[in-house]
Amino acid sequence: MAEGDKHRAASRQSPAVDLLVIGGGVMGLWAAHHAVRAGLSVHLVDAGRIGSGASGGLLGALMPHMPDRWNGKKQFQFEALVSLEEEINALEAATGLSTGYRRSGRLIPLPKPHLSEIALGHREDARANWTAGERQFHWNVHGAGFAAGLLAEDVAPFGLVEDTLAARVSPRGLTAVLKAALAASPCVKLSEGVSVLRLDHGQAILQDGAGIAFGNAVIANGHRSRDLIEAIAGPLGKPVVVPVKGQAALLAADLDPATPVVYLDGLYIVPHEGGRVAIGSTSENRFDEPCTTDGQLEDLIAKARAVMPALREAEVVERWAGLRPKAIGRDPMVGHLPGQAAVSVLTGGFKVSFGIAHRLSAALVEAIAADLDVTGLPESFSPLSHLKEAGFTAR
pLDDT in tens, 241-250: 999 999 999 9
Confidence of residue 393 (pLDDT cuts 50, 70, 90): confident
Q: Is 94 a domain residue?
A: no
Confidence of residue 188 (pLDDT cuts 50, 70, 90): very high
Q: Are residues 258 and 200 in the same domain?
A: no
Q: Is 77 a domain residue?
A: no
Q: Residue 347: what pLDDT?
A: 97
Percentage of residues in the chain with pLDDT exceeding 90? 94
How far apart CA 9 and CA 60 sit, in angstroms, is 40
Please report the sign of the dihedral spanned by the C-alpha atoms of residue 351, residue 355, residue 357, residue 363: negative
Q: Are residues 236 and 246 in the same domain?
A: no
Q: Are residues 383 and 338 in the same domain?
A: yes
Q: How confident is the model over 89-137, as pLDDT tens digits?
A: 999 999 999 999 999 999 999 999 999 999 999 999 999 999 999 999 9
Task: Report whether pLDDT(394) > 80.
Answer: no
Q: What CATH number has the domain bearing residue 152?
A: 3.30.9.10
Q: How confident is the model over 294-353, as pLDDT tens digits?
A: 999 999 999 999 999 999 999 999 999 999 999 999 899 999 999 999 999 999 998 899
Please report the sign of the dihedral spanned by the C-alpha atoms of residue 309, residue 61, residue 105, residue 268: positive
Q: Are residues 127 and 138 in the same domain?
A: yes
Q: How confident is the model over 263-287, as pLDDT tens digits?
A: 999 999 999 999 999 999 999 999 9
Q: Is 82 a domain residue?
A: no
Q: Is 66 a domain residue?
A: no
Confidence of residue 5 (pLDDT cuts 50, 70, 90): very low
Q: Is 215 a domain residue?
A: yes
Q: What CATH number has the domain bearing residue 225?
A: 3.50.50.60
Task: Report whether pLDDT(10) > 80.
Answer: no
Q: Are residues 205 and 159 in the same domain?
A: no
How far apart CA 14 and CA 213 sit, in angstroms, is 7
Q: Residue 263: what pLDDT?
A: 98
Which among 307, 327, 347 is the end of a domain? 327
Q: Are residues 185 and 306 in the same domain?
A: no
Q: Are residues 337 and 379 in the same domain?
A: yes
Q: Are residues 315 and 334 in the same domain?
A: no
Q: Is 216 a domain residue?
A: yes
Task: Report whether pLDDT(11) > 60.
Answer: no
Considering only CA atoms, give the Rg of the chain.
22
Q: Is 87 a domain residue?
A: no
Which among 274, 303, 327 is the end of a domain? 327
Average pLDDT, the chain: 94
Q: Are residues 336 and 322 in the same domain?
A: no
Residue (of 181, 201, 202, 203) closest to 190 by Cα position: 181
Q: Are residues 152 and 299 in the same domain?
A: yes
Compute the CA torsion angle 184, 188, 191, 194 (nearest 10 deg).
-160
CA distances from 189 to 7, 19, 39, 44, 346 (A): 24, 11, 14, 6, 19
Query: Under a CB-based contact definition with an 8 Å cutoff, are residues 78 and 130 in contact?
Result: yes
Q: Is 62 a domain residue?
A: no
Q: How confident is the model over 41-68, as pLDDT tens digits?
A: 999 999 999 999 999 999 999 999 999 9
pTM: 0.94
373, containing H or E segment: none
Q: Are residues 158 and 180 in the same domain?
A: no
Which among 286, 303, 327 is the end of a domain? 327
State the total domains in the chain: 2
| Residue 211 lies in domain | 3-56+173-241+329-389
| b/e sequence 221-243, b meaning 16+ C-beta within 10 Å | bbbbbbebbbebbeebeebbbbb
Q: Provide the 3-class DSSP secondary structure of residue 82.
A: helix
Q: Are residues 375 and 230 in the same domain?
A: yes
Task: Report whether pLDDT(15) > 90.
Answer: no
How far apart CA 307 and CA 261 sit, in angstroms, is 12
Q: DSSP readout, 270-295?
A: EEEGGGEEEEE---BSS-S-TT---H
